Amino acid sequence: MYNQALRGQKELVLCEDGTNTLFSKEFNEAYHSTKDGALHESLEKHVKPAFLVKKGEDSLTILDICFGLGYNTFTTLYYIQQNQLNTKVHILSPEFDKELIASLATFDYPSQFDNIKHIIKDISKNFYYEDEQFKIEILVGDARDTVPKIKEKIDIVYQDAFSPNQNPLLWTREFFDDIVKVSKKDTLLTTYSISASTRLGLYENGFKLYFNKSDGIRTALIASQKELDFFEFIDMELKKKRNPTARSLRDIDYLI
Ligand X SMILES: C[S@@+](CC[C@H](N)C(=O)[O-])C[C@H]1O[C@@H](n2cnc3c(N)ncnc32)[C@H](O)[C@@H]1O
Residues that bind ligand X (CB under 6 A): 31, 42, 66, 68-72, 94-97, 100, 142-144, 160-162, 167, 170
Our CB check for ligand X shows the closer of 40 and 199 to be 40
Give me the least distance between CB of 216 and ligand X, in Å please: 17
Give backbone dihedrals phi and psi of 131, rounded to 5 degrees, phi first: -140, -160
Our CB check for ligand X shows the closer of 6 and 246 to be 6
User: Please, what sign has the CA dihedral across residues 238, 36, 76, 104?
Assistant: positive
- Residue 159 Cα to chain centre, angstroms: 3
Give me the least distance between CB of 169 and ligand X, in Å please: 6
Our CB check for ligand X shows the closer of 114 and 232 to be 114
Nearest Cα to Cα of residue 204 among 166, 161, 172: 172
Our CB check for ligand X shows the closer of 112 and 240 to be 112
What torsion, rounded to 10 degrees, do the Cα atoms 187, 190, 195, 201 define? -20
Give me the least distance between CB of 59 and ligand X, in Å please: 22
Give me the least distance between CB of 166 and ligand X, in Å please: 9
Residue closest to ligand X when measured from CB atoms:
68
Give backbone dihedrals phi and psi of 168, rounded to 5 degrees, phi first: -60, -30
